[in-house]
Amino acid sequence: MKRTPLHGWHKGHGANMAEFGGYEMPLWYGSAKEEHLSVLTKAGLFDTSHMAVVEVKGSNAFHLLQKCFSRDLRECLGPTKRPLTPGNCVYGVFLNVSGGVVDDAIVDQLDENHYLCVVNAGMGGVLTQHLLDHAEGLSVHIRDLTDEVGKIDIQGPAAAKVLKKVLQDPGAVFEGMRYFSFKGHFEDSSGPTGTVLLKNNIPILLSRTGYTGEFGFEIFCDPTRVTEVWEMILDAGRDFGITPCGLAARDSLRAGAVLPLSHQDIGPWPFLRNPWIFALPFNEDQTGFTKDFTGGEALLEIHDADYTLPFIGNDLRKVPVTETTTVQTLDGSPIGTVLTCVTDMGIGKVEDKIYSVASPDKPVGFAPRGLSCGFVKVKKALKAGEAIRLTDGRRAITVTITYDIRPDRTARVPIQSML
């Protein structure tokens, strides 16, 4: 099993460790519930150095990504569909020729014809090969930076206040830092994305993105210095109640934010009829795509794809997700499988309305026990509000199909109001 540079820190701080994506990672330190709640109300710090980065550079870099990535880089930013430009990033998927997911990714543009693809644990080599397979005749350098980049995520409403204490010139860094934009580079460089330095002169790539649905940043740096950065941020965050967080909290936070876990909620089946098809380059009337790309042609031919839908439970109870866990209609007919089932411990139902511990209008004394949530993959088109049964054969819970799960998420809140 592989280890991140923070492995020793995790072990030394009593983390409960488990295998994930080929890495030995912390599941939680003291309490996964406290870690989850800390991200909703204060700040949490995650070791995400198991994730991989693939660099794509050269005169045909744009061309290669237009051919392989699901977003049309000429029109993918914001509601007005602006082109991707240096300092901005975008979420999408890489598909195989059958329209199945190789992996999902955030693509960062550093410069003209210079990109970073941030992918999941163990996927650096896979994506590198996938891109090479499509790069014949193109002038492009593809470099797998797995193990050459350290990464930690600070997530939660206090994230900018904490970083303000460790950044050189935080005012300039935070200026105009929109959701899905980034500044700096983890190597010393003077490209268009500028330089972001920590007070101890470590260069970082600071990206206003994350995997919790909450306000925050992903920080990329030299892996040999990631422990130093981690400790510096924890130290600066003490007054704000920052908590180191493990993968359990990451999983429950992202599910509540309706974000997919690659290879679990999306995978080698057609990337269609799911909550994330905004990542496909649909034309205005949704009849086709604005560009040709790998997997696109296959998707347009498929008309019987399963439906991947978010659900929310009536209380905190889950069903264990195993190969035999099924989705049934209320009269017991099997209609599909459960992809994710976790408990978002920061939400609860009061008179049929769902609140989060971070909801501004939450009832006085609101102390939720949590609600189960996740994703099902079913043969039938179900509408929000329809009830289904999830069972592993031993336990059954009734849950409701929904569009959204945890209310009042902060990921998109303007940075000025978070300082």
Partner 1 sequence: MKELNELILPDDVRFTEEHEWARKEGENVRVGISDYAQDQLGDIVFVELPEVGSSFSKGDEFGTVESVKTVSELYMPIGGEVVAINEELADHPEYVNTDPYGKGWMIELKPTNPAELDELLDKDAYLKQLEG
Q: Kindly state whether residue 256 participates in binding partner 1, applying the rule CB under 8 A.
A: no
* Residue (of 185, 403, 183) closest to 311 by Cα position: 403
- Work out whether 150 is an interface residue with partner 1 (CB under 8 A): no
DSSP H helical ranges for 257-317: 296-301
Nearer of residues 24 and 228 to partner 1, judged by Cβ: 24
CA–CA distance, 367 with 344 (Å, rounded to integer): 13
Nearer to partner 1, 158 or 345 (CB): 345
Q: Single out the residue of 4, 5, 15, 294 in contact with partner 1 (rule: CB under 8 A).
A: 15
Q: Which is nearer to partner 1, 199 or 369 (CB)?
A: 369
- Give the separation between CA 130 and CA 375, rounded to whole angstroms: 28
- Residue 409: phi, psi to the nearest 5? -75, 155
Min dist CB 230 to partner 1, Å, is: 20
The rounded distance, in Å, linking the Cα atoms of 342 and 256 is: 9
Nearer to partner 1, 17 or 101 (CB): 17
Q: Among 344, 339, 342, 309, which Cα is nearest to 322's? A: 339
For partner 1, the binding residue among 6, 7, 25, 27 (CB under 8 A) is 27
Cβ contacts of 224 within 8 Å, gap of 6 or more? 5, 150
Closest C-alpha among 257, 342, 267 to residue 308: 267
Contact at 8 Å (CB) between 249 and 41? no
- Pick the closest to residue 289 from 32, 49, 45, 69 (CA basis): 69
Per CB under 8 A, 325 contacts partner 1: no
- Nearer CB in complex with partner 1: 28/271: 28
Query: Whole-number minimum distance, CB 122 to partner 1, in Å?
Result: 22
Q: Which of 317, 377, 389, 409 touches partner 1 by CB under 8 A?
A: 317
Give me the long-range contacts of 107-110 (CB less than 8 A, separation at least 24).
107/65, 107/69, 107/71, 107/73, 108/182, 108/205, 108/207, 109/73, 109/84, 109/85, 110/86, 110/185, 110/191, 110/192, 110/193
Q: Does 109 bind partner 1 (CB under 8 A)?
A: no
- Binding mask of the shown chain, residues 385 to 414, with x at each position contacting partner 1 by CB under 8 A: ---------xx-------------------
- Residue 41 in the binding site for partner 1 (CB under 8 A): no
- Residue 30 Cβ vs partner 1, minimum distance, rounded to whole Å: 9
Q: How far apart are CA 253 and CA 240, in angstroms?
A: 20
Interaction between residue 13 and partner 1 (CB under 8 A): no
Nearer CB in complex with partner 1: 288/393:
393
Spatial distance between the Cα atoms of 280 and 69, rounded to a whole number of angstroms: 9
**By the 8 A CB rule, do 207 and 415 touch?**
no
Of the candidates 255, 301, 299, 261, which has an alpha carbon nearest to the alpha carbon of residue 277? 299
319 binding partner 1? (CB under 8 A): yes
Tokens of 99: 């329209």
In the window 345-384, what residues touch partner 1 (CB under 8 A)? 345, 369-370
| Closer residue to partner 1, CB minimum distance, 286 or 322 | 322
- Selected from 7, 318, 377, 409, the binder of partner 1 by CB under 8 A is 318
Q: How far is residue 359's CA from residue 375's CA, in Å, rounded to a whole number? A: 23
How many CB atoms neighbour CB 364 within 10 A? 4
Using CB under 8 A as the binding criterion, the count of chain residues that bind partner 1 stands at 23
| Part in contact with partner 1 (CB under 8 A); list of ranges 25-33, 156-164, 347-355, 409-417 | 25-33
Nearer to partner 1, 342 or 358 (CB): 342
CB atoms within 10 A of CB 171: 9
Judged by beta carbon, residue 213 or residue 370, the one nearer partner 1 is 370
Which among 13-21, 145-153, 206-214, 280-288 is the span making contact with partner 1, rule CB under 8 A?
A: 13-21
- Using the rule CB under 8 A, is 31 a contact of partner 1? yes
Residue (251 or 306) nearer to partner 1, CB: 251
The minimum distance between CB 14 and partner 1, in angstroms, equals 6
- Please say which residue, 99 or 348, places its beta carbon nearer to partner 1: 348
Of 33, 74, 143, 380, the one binding partner 1 (CB under 8 A) is 33
Residues lying near partner 1 in the complex (CB under 8 A) are found at 14-17, 27-28, 31-33, 248, 252, 316-320, 342-343, 345, 369-370, 394-395
